Amino acid sequence: MTLPRATLRLQLHHDFTFDDALAQLDYFAALGVSHLYLSPITTAQPGSMHGYDTVDYGAVSAELGGEDALRRLADTVHARGMGLIVDMVPNHMGVGGSHNAWWLDILEWGRHSAFARHFDVDWHSPDPALRGKVLMPFLGAQYGEELAAGRIELKFDAANARFFVQYGPHVGPICPTDYAALLQSANRADLTALAAAFQGLTTQPDDQVRAAAARAALREFVEREGAAPIEFVLQSYRSDDPVARDRLHRLLERQHFRLAWWRTATDEVNWRRFFDVSSLAGVRVERHDVFEAVHKLIFRLYADGVIDGLRIDHIDGLADPREYCERLRHRLASLRPGEPYIVVEKILARGEALREDWAVQGTTGYDFMNDVGALLHDPAGAAPLAHSWTEITGEDAPFAQVSLDARREILTASLAAELDHAARALHRIAREQPATRDYTFAAVHRCVAQLAMHFPVYRIYPANGLRSALDNRYFEVALGAARKALPRASLGALDQVDGWLGARAPEAGGGNNGNPGKAARTANTGSARQAGQNQAAPPLSHAMIAQRTALALFSQLTAPLAAKATEDTALYRYGRLLSRNDVGTDPDDFSLDVEAFHAANVQRQRTTPYALLATATHDHKRGEDVRARLAVLSEIAPEWRETLRAWSTLNQPQRRGDTAQWSPGPAAEAMLYQTLVGCWPPGLDPADEAGVQSLAERVAQWQLKALREAKQRTSWIAPDEDYESECKAFLFDILSPQRRDGFLRELSAFVARIAPAGALNTLLQTTLRMTSPGVPDLYQGTELWDFSLVDPDNRRPVDYAQRAASLDDATPAAKLADWRDARVKQAVIHRLLALRECAPGLLREGEYWPMEVRGALAAHVVAFARRHGDSWAVVVGTRHAAALLDRDMPRVAAQAWGDTAVALPKGCPASALHDWLADVDHTAGSDAAQGKQGDQAHWLALRDVLAALPVAVLTNVAREHTQA
């Protein structure tokens, strides 16, 4: 296995290709990363800026440079002793448009398409209008309106001899079973003769072969005669003539797709989507043939040594993540020697750990991002900040309630069809047996809705249709809440649904109608896993298949519900402190004490020492340095409360609307102020009109997304453009040049006061990411300040020339005086990556030892040691220091530390400990020197260790002089 020392995430698109990455390789190598970590490389929808809308798994994206360019990059990367990790998207593909051949084939041939089982399509919809069809919810208005307006047109692709209907960029292939009627409609002998070859076609595979031969003859005819004869056909279906338009409508009604208004997707979509995105269709990668087709290119590139590892996107969207990971590891391991490196994108809820039976190295690091972020927050600020939020908004609900309310809304407003699919699968089980057939669909639907609404984690991971004891721990939470929420008359149905969702195995007869109970649930512990390892397992019964299907659909409902309700809704409604509102966080978990942080790191070292450690990602809602600065507000909550009041009063004249419902409204205004404080660039002068204007435009982009995601006064589905316009006007008014001596001056002055403490938080966060158990991940460009906002702001072009020019071998301590230019942050990363290179096992695999801290300022210190053989590293950092800073420097003055000291673990050398960040040596004193008695432990005085920087990394590993 090629273990990364550190990864660098790059967002690839047509403006930053493989060759662009290659051009920056000298800098990446000099910085010290070992692996480039690339966004998806497969062919995506044209113009995609992220690559997650794959349309062809079998080809490297031509927009990124194609396979030749990828191999050029890989060859140079490997020549430097580095590696490549690529992002893989097995859960969904981009659909709509005209570029996904698999999708177009099922639109053309329906259930008999060779790819019909590649996607999660419900071909047996209870809606007769969708039976055997695929909903195409891409119309901008009602179908009849768009048809009458002539925006749905029949066209002909001469190169491929295909008729298709087009609506904007979307195409729907006409099934060849209709070609005979189409060609005959022109009343031309030559076309009527061609029609004969299409007569009597069905959608069966043999007839698809016949259709291909008939198409070949049609293509030859068009090549010989030109397209003019076909125009007679198209004229027979033009939309400006009522008769022809009716003919076109009847033709469309016979197809294997149903064109529909985009709003119908919420209620009627009959295929699994990625969340509620109707341009991304779920892929059935649990099927062996689909798995192989999806990974064919990746397997070839891995076998050829082009790529060295995989990051698996949205693992919770898969039917069986455990089985997928095992299969993937087995296939990769069979292709070349060594264990493959695999990490998964997984959001872990409070108290949840990555399942230990998944065959992966760990997660992509959201869990660490949450922990280190919470560590920066002062728990004393939680209550006063909550009180301030209630004062402003009138809302006093904890985040859990806000999230629950959002779940209730999302189930009905965005995921109603997905809820129906899960309920229908369970209702089919009910109908199988006389004992349960009278449980109605509505009753089952109510039960599933309540379970999903109260589910405490993204999903469970049953094996062989049974829940494990760990699954039951989470399921019982939802079950208990559902029992309280449902009427007594529904509890019988709920008990049955509990059974069908894996509380017990189905009976041999298929009914699974015994009385469910906790004893039955706990009895499943381990049995499902053992059954999954039985290679001679008997064929699955109908009842087992039905139960597994229902479980998969339920899990594929709870995961997107959690994401949409929490990440994409509630986090935009609740604003106590926005630095605790990000992917993978729970704002109710406001802070984390040092002991809990140590415990989490001990667990990482034990279970996932090679997982990624992230503090910034392509999906974050606020850059790592925005969050670090906003965390300072937890230390000065009373001052922030008064500041909010003053700014609200100052900017009241700029509000729009009446006093009853003004724009932007109290919550949106309060969150706007936090955002401005968090992302105000260091050194931006309020008199710099161009700079302030540029910032306002970025914040306006965030504001629009935030307002729509909150789904309160506007939304993506039903935008209130007047309200949005008023909010934007408010923003630009308060940041206009006329306010340079008013709000702008107040804003910049406040930021200037807290920015040093924010920078200190950044240096601590950076150091902990570099030294905690795991593999540090850098997001592109964030080695300098990351004051980005949610995408697309966090995917802006990176100035690598600036970063390369600022990289040298000077110590971070030497750069602290000019901390506003962020070179000190880059230097910390550079130095600690050099340490990781000198002692590869020390910070990646070394034992983790929490360290005792004593003295007056002990509460402001986090300290631990890492040990690997005879190599030691002692990590010490400052936290919660806003009131202790040395003037406007992100550092506590040496004398202020007083008697504060950290105890070295037994066995750690007490002398010649070299600080890699300041290039000075330290020697620990004994207890006697500290005025103590006892076991003569050795102590490091922080007045010495933290004299140069707010962080220190002391080791007995010799630092060789290296040139950047």
Cβ distance 251 to 174 under 8 Å? yes
* 430 touches 501 (CB < 8 A): no
- Picking from 553, 570, 587, the residue at the C-terminal end of a domain is 570
Q: Residue 529 has what DSSP assignment? A: H
Q: Is the dihedral of CA 502, 503, 504, 506 positive or negative?
A: negative
Question: Is residue 615 domain-resident?
Answer: no
Those residues with Cβ within 8 angstroms of residue 694's Cβ, 6 or more apart along the chain or in another chain: none
Rounded CA-CA distance 482/490 in Å is 10
Angstrom distance (rounded) from CA 165 to CA 171: 6
Nearest to 654 by CA among 641, 667, 664: 664
CA distance 380 to 635: 7
For CA atoms 642, 645, 649, 650, the dihedral sign is positive
State residue 936's pLDDT score.
67
Per the structure, how many domains does the chain have? 4
Q: CB under 8 Å to 686, separation ≥6 — which residues?
A: 692, 740, 744, 745, 747, 748
CA dist 305 → 10, 60, 293 (Å): 20, 15, 20
| Residue 885 falls inside a structural domain | yes
Domain end marker among 535, 570, 605:
570
Question: In the block, which residue shows the tokens 């269709």?
Answer: 281
pLDDT of residue 659: 80
Q: Which amino acid is at 925?
A: G
Q: Residue 37: helix, strand or coil by DSSP? A: strand
Are the beta carbons of 257 and 172 closer than 8 angstroms?
Answer: yes
Report the alpha-carbon distance of residue 3 to residue 597 in Å, rounded: 25
Asked whether residue 694 is assigned to any structural domain, the reply reads no
CB 880 within 8 A of CB 635: yes
Q: Cα(287)–Cα(240) distance, rounded to whole angstroms?
A: 46
Among 570, 601, 630, which residue terminates a domain? 570
Q: Which domain holds residue 54?
A: 7-91+286-364
pLDDT at 526: 36
Do 199 and 311 fall into the same domain? no
Distance between CA atoms of 60 and 42, rounded to whole angstroms? 5
Residue 770 lies in a domain: no
Calpha distance 276→258 (Å, rounded): 19
* Whether residues 819 and 896 fall in one domain: yes
Burial class of residue 389 in the structure, from the number of CB atoms within 10 Å of its CB (0-12 exposed, 13-18 middle, 19+ buried): buried
Before 682, cis peptide (omega within 30)?
Answer: no
What amino acid occupies position 29? A
Tell me the one-letter amino acid at 917: L
Q: Specify the CATH number for the domain of residue 115.
A: 3.30.1590.10
**Does 193 share its domain with 318?**
no
815 and 856 in a single domain? The answer is yes
Distance separating alpha carbons of residues 493 and 507, to the nearest angstrom: 18
Q: Are 182 and 34 in a shared domain?
A: no
The end-to-end CA distance of the chain, in Å, is 28
Q: What is the pLDDT of residue 692?
A: 97
- Residue written as token pair 């070295």: 904
| Residue (of 692, 716, 695) closest to 572 by Cα position | 716
Instruction: Point out which residues pair with 776 in neighbouring strands.
Output: 613
The b/e string for 576-615 (b: 16+ C-beta within 10 A; e otherwise) is: bbbbbbbbbbbbbbbbbebeebbebbbebbeebbbbbbbb
CA 595 – CA 565 distance, rounded (Å): 31
340 in Cβ contact with 310 (< 8 Å): yes
Q: Is 870 exposed, middle or buried (CB count within 10 Å of its CB: 0-12, 13-18, 19+)?
A: exposed
What token pair was written down for 387? Answer: 């009180």
* C-alpha pair distances (Å), 770 with each of 123, 164, 593, 810, 844: 50, 55, 20, 18, 9
Q: What pLDDT score was predicted for residue 532?
A: 38
Note whether 10 and 21 are within 8 A (CB): yes
User: Is residue 344 one of the residues assigned to a domain?
Assistant: yes
Same domain (yes/no): 170, 46: no
In this prediction, residue 677 carries a pLDDT of: 98
| DSSP for residue 607 | H
Q: Do both 300 and 412 map to the same domain? A: no
Same-domain pairing of 325 and 424 = no
Average pLDDT, whole number, for the chain? 94
pLDDT digits (tens, 9 = 90+) for 484-517: 999 999 999 999 999 999 998 887 555 444 444 4
In Å, what is the CA distance from 393 to each residue of 402, 405, 575, 815?
A: 13, 17, 10, 43
What CATH number is attached to the domain comprising 78? 3.20.20.80
Reduced 3-state DSSP string for 114-128: CCCCCECECCCCCCH
Q: At what angle do helices 689-710 and 666-679 cross, to 10 degrees?
A: 140
For residue 456, whether the previous peptide bond is cis, meaning omega lies within 30 degrees of 0, is no
What is the per-residue pLDDT for 508? 59
Nearest to 347 by CA among 585, 608, 554: 585
Query: How many CB atoms within 10 Å of residue 653?
Result: 8
Same domain, yes or no: 14 and 149 = no
pLDDT in the model for residue 541:
86
Spell 662-699 as b/e; 16+ CB within 10 A means b.
ebbbbbbbbbbbbbbbbbbebebebebeeebeebbebb
What is the phi/psi pair of residue 656, to 5°?
A: -110, 160
- Could you give the CA distance from residue 590 to residue 573 in angstroms, rounded to a whole number? 16
Residues 319 and 422 in one domain: no
CA atoms within 13 A on the CB side of 536: 0
Amino acid identity at 183: L
Please tell me whether residues 199 and 308 are part of one structural domain.
Answer: no
Looking only at the bridges linking them, the beta strands covering 134-139 and 153-157 are: unpaired
pLDDT for the residue numbered 789? 98
In a domain, 771, yes or no: no
The answer to whether residues 920 and 812 touch, using CB atoms and an 8 Å cutoff, is no
pLDDT at position 817 is 97
Q: Are residues 495 and 395 part of one domain?
A: yes
Reported pTM:
0.94
Which regions in the chain score pLDDT beneath 70?
1, 508-538, 928-936, 960-964
The CA-based angle 699-705-710, given to 5 degrees, is 120
User: 44-53 pLDDT, tens per residue?
Assistant: 999 999 999 9
Distance from C-alpha of 848 to C-alpha of 223, rounded to nearest angstrom: 73
Residue 113 belongs to some domain of the structure: yes
- Judge whether 616 lies within some domain: no
Which of 566, 624, 586 is closest to 789 using CA atoms? Answer: 624
Cβ-Cβ contacts under 8 Å for 85 (sequence gap 6 or more): 4, 7, 35, 36, 37, 38, 307, 308, 309, 310, 311, 341
**Is residue 629 a contact partner of residue 765, using CB atoms and an 8 Å limit?**
no
